Amino acid sequence: MTLLHRRLAALLSGVIVLALLGRAVAFPVDGDKTVLPVATELNEDALDKPREVFQSERTGAKSYLVNLGDLAFNSPGLLGEVARQAGVSCGTCHVNGANNARFFMPKMSSRPGTFDTTGPLFNPKANNLAFDPVRIPSLRGARYLAPYGADGRFASLRDFVHNVITNEFAGPEPSPATLDAIVAYIHDVDFLPNPSLGPAGRLAGKITEAEHRGEALFAKPFPHDPALSCAGCHVPSSGFVDHQQHDVGSGGLFKTPTLRNADFNAPYFHDGRFDSYNQVVDYFDRTFQLDLSAQDKGDLVAYLTAVGDGVQPYERDGAGATLKEINDFSTVLATAIPAGDKDIVALAVDTIGRELRELTEQYPDRKNTSVSGGEQQRVLARNGLKELVLTLRRIEMAVAAGRNADAATELRNYRNLMAAAVPSLLASAEPWSLFNQDVHDRHYAALRQVMRSRHISR
């Protein structure tokens, strides 16, 4: 396949993904008995999830520390009482290490994809009494992107993570091992590969004329201040960052964001004020009096799009993807059980059990009006997943009582179920599950219809 073909294929896949995302039926949190503000959109029902690429998987398997970090990252128990009640974890905003562009929480978000880390909900003590949401960043390639925080006030990722947990979310003091694990996980989340980027961040292969011109413009000194250029801050040979904070007239000093995989990182700027590269380029043109022509702007956008691309940015959610993640999480138990590490076992059982319960709900029970058929398959799928949840709980109970050998036996049972029986049951039930687009849409349309009646009357 030539590069052009690959790019066309990538473009088409992007269009398909966008079409699918457009079709996906978002369903916000509703009702007046919930912990989160009504109309919070977590986008958890999306059928297309950002693809997660791990550095370590290129050369071998993920380490215990990375898997433990991934587990903790997806544990609502880490972020304090409100988050625990609401089922919110780091992974809620940073889905698979990427950004959740649809996340929206009334009073905490100014627009989708933003969040006020100093707002009133999760830690009232950290409330700065200002409504100042920042965009939720992707964590892909974070190991190359110090300093941390939108304003770059943390040189160390470990310090930044600690601050998020204990200050922004009022979570309990994490153990040093947990902090190390989360940092290891974030360090392992890599950029999506981009075949258009060659050595030193130069465009490579067959590039279009517009991209080529855009690359030249990107490096060209600004007419009114020759010391500045786009590439001066977004250094192509350095992951398109300079590790510095700058004031570009947007309201203060903010760190230079990377442009790698940025096609999938909208909204842009520290507060997420812009939806597109066109708006960003217009802003710089105005603010720095660049005198760009329409073609110049188009060329810059073409260049940014080429730099910001990535292979297969989304992957279809399904039982297979969920089970793979759960299997990765479960590897932690193989180390924690023999060590009798009650805290890690409890964390794993809580997080994996929650994931399994959520997976169970993807297979509607027979009371659900959105799906007909496959009743026996759904029953067996639900039953298998519930058995897994209970097996995990037995593991926790055994370790808590010091019966590590019993826990090891239960772990073998769990692995046996996960090896073949449960995947097979889930595959059989998939046509009647919420992983099926039609069933998914019917289910959420039904929920929306019911909840709409509630709002019409108020």
Partner 1 sequence: MHKMRVAACLALLAASAGVRAANAGALEDGAERYRPYLIEGVASALEGARALRERAAAADLPGAKKAWLSARAGWERSEVFTAGFVPELDAQIDAWPNADSGFHAIEAKLFGAGNTDVAADATGLVEHLNDLHGKLKDITLTPQGLLDGTVRLAYEVGESKADGGESRISGTSLDDMRNNIAGIDFAYHTIFSTALNTVDGKLDEMVTNRIEQLEAIVATPDLRHVNIADLRQTSEELVIALQSASAKLGLQRPTLEAQAR
Residues that bind partner 1 (CB under 8 A): 29-36, 77, 84-87, 350, 353-354, 357-358, 361, 365-370, 376, 379-380, 382-383, 386-387, 389-390, 393-394, 397, 443, 446-447, 449-451, 453-454, 456-458
Q: How far is the CB of 433 from partner 1 (least distance, A)?
A: 15
Nearer Cβ to partner 1 (324/366): 366
Q: From the CB of 453, what's the least distance to partner 1, in Å?
A: 4
Minimum distance, C-beta of residue 392 to partner 1, in the bound complex (Å): 8
With tokens 């300093």, the residue in question is 147
Question: b vs e for 72-103, b when ≥16 Cβ sit within 10 Å of the residue's Cβ?
Answer: bbbbbbbbbebbbebebbbbbbbbbbbbbbbb
Q: Compute the least distance from the CB of residue 426 to partner 1, in Å.
A: 14
* Closer Cβ to partner 1, 84 or 255, answer by number: 84
Helix (H) or strand (E) holding 255: strand 254-255
Residue type, 104: F
Of 207 and 371, CB closest to partner 1:
371
Closer of 55 and 409 to partner 1 (Cβ): 409
Q: Of the two residues 259 and 356, which places its CB atom closer to partner 1 in the complex?
A: 356
CA angle, 295 as apex, 291 and 300 as ends, to 5°? 80
CB 317 to partner 1: min, Å? 18
- The secondary element (H helix, E strand) that includes residue 313 is none
- For partner 1, the closer of residues 23 and 366 by Cβ is 366
Burial class (CB in 10 A: 0-12, 13-18, 19+), 142: buried
Q: Minimum distance between the CB of residue 28 and partner 1, rounded to whole angstroms? A: 10
Q: Cα–chain-centroid distance for residue 35?
A: 22
* For partner 1, the closer CB: 97 or 374: 374
Residue 339 beta carbon to partner 1: minimum distance, rounded to whole angstroms: 22
Is residue 134 classed as helix, strand or coil in its secondary structure? strand
The DSSP letter of residue 37 is P
Q: What CA–CA distances, in Å, run from 161 to 34, 69, 111, 145, 165?
A: 27, 12, 24, 14, 6
String of b and e for 387-410 (b: at least 16 CB within 10 Å)?
bbbebbebbbebbeeebbebbbeb
Longest dimension (CA), the chain: 73
